[in-house]
Amino acid sequence: MTSSDPTPDLPRVRLLPKANARAIRHGFPWVYANELVTDRRTRALSPGALAVLEDAERNPMGVVAVNPASRIICRMLDRDPDAVPDRVWFAARLSRALALRSRIYDAPFYRLVHAEGDGLPGLVIDRFGEVAVIQPNAAWAEVRLDDLTAALVEVTGVTTVLKNASGRTRALEGLDDDSAVLLGSAPQAPLPVPMSGAIYMADLTGGQKTGLFYDQRPNHAFAARLAGQGARVLDVFSHVGGFALAMLAGGAGHALAVDGSAPALELAAQGAAASGLADRFETRQGDAFDVLSALAEEGAQFDVVICDPPAFAPSKQALDAGLRAYERIARMAATLVAPGGYLGLCSCSHAADLANFRGACTRGIGKAGRAGQLLRTGFAGPDHPQLPQLAETGYLKALFYRL
């Protein structure tokens, strides 16, 4: 299909009378399976098929991607019911996303597409210079990878495009976990990424997610300011150096990075060496809770402690257990903060909203016998724009306390 094709005669899918059509008209991008008329014709649509969404009175609302196998049965692609989501359409969306990042960042290292936040639901693209890594976490993006890749190259000029299929939501969409090289050749070594005053090493084929987390960039900068000259800092769940390298680049005297993954810590050490920070950087591999306990037994004290764990509450069902884990981390970490020092606690669990997360952290600090001033509430950087109608796009929270 090209932009010169006439608008295709798309099938129609219709909301049930009980569905919240007003929320969808006001920007909510999803239709749940219990909100749609799922007759035999709708159930026969292939995952990722396009359709025109109608309200209960059959008024068209826009073009949606349909996946009858998913709890999110429709994702809004375009409010124009005559839109044609082809290569030209992709290029327009990608151009708009690129314009934002080009205005904010001096170098092409950022999240280029943040799913619904950039009008491309279920699609994530991270850029590493001449390499782009696509995570198609929704069926509609998976079945249009050819058009998407062609438009991505046209708009950005990247020479290598990788597909990362490790996203947790792919299974919910009925998708496989087979990653692939879509264009060019996969990097044979970790790529150096300049960020937060340091060099991070990103493993784009064997690392977590797309290889590096860009979302914490503004929080790295704040932590670096807190650390100041000569500070002793602890970075728990450090991944490839996360906060530790940023704080060292900002003048901290020594950093201990803790993570359960030995390969991640090796990349962190490589990043420290590439940044000229190796003499002040140390790693300890192990379970974070075990390491925190051991450090407390050793009587260790740090001027800044940062904990940036994986999602303890990835779903509503896991919320209570997740909040208990956040409280426990806060309690254990607070005991390691020197008087007058700083504690940073982070959550990437969209199921744990800010109020719940803050409550868990504050309880943990109190149970450690410490009092804390909340200095800053941080979120993901502007290359992770939020869709205000969808809380999931604002998943990251970072709380900075002075104890």
Active site residues: 348
Strands (E), 301-361: 302-307, 337-347
* CA separation for the pair 320, 329 (Å, rounded): 14
SS (H, E, C) 206-221: CCCCCCCCCCCHHHHH
* CA separation for the pair 291, 268 (Å, rounded): 18
Indicate if the alpha-carbon torsion angle 23, 26, 30, 33 is positive or negative: positive
- DSSP secondary structure letter of residue 121: T
103: its two tokens: 């205005």
104: its two tokens: 């904010």
CA–CA–CA angle 176, 177, 178 (5° rounding): 95
Closest CA to 238 of 219, 257, 252, 213: 257
* CA separation for the pair 235, 282 (Å, rounded): 10
Closest CA to 348 of 398, 315, 316, 395: 395
268: its two tokens: 């962190």
Q: What is the largest distance, in Å, between two alpha-carbon atoms of the chain?
A: 72
Residue 256 one-letter amino acid: L
Residue 305 one-letter amino acid: V
Task: Identify the bridge partners of residue 60 per DSSP, sorted by sequence position.
Answer: 54
Residue 177 one-letter amino acid: D
* CA separation for the pair 269, 245 (Å, rounded): 9
* CA separation for the pair 62, 52 (Å, rounded): 6
Spell out the alpha helix ranges (H) of 255-351.
262-274, 288-297, 319-334
* CA separation for the pair 191, 193 (Å, rounded): 6
Closest CA to 121 of 108, 106, 131, 135: 135
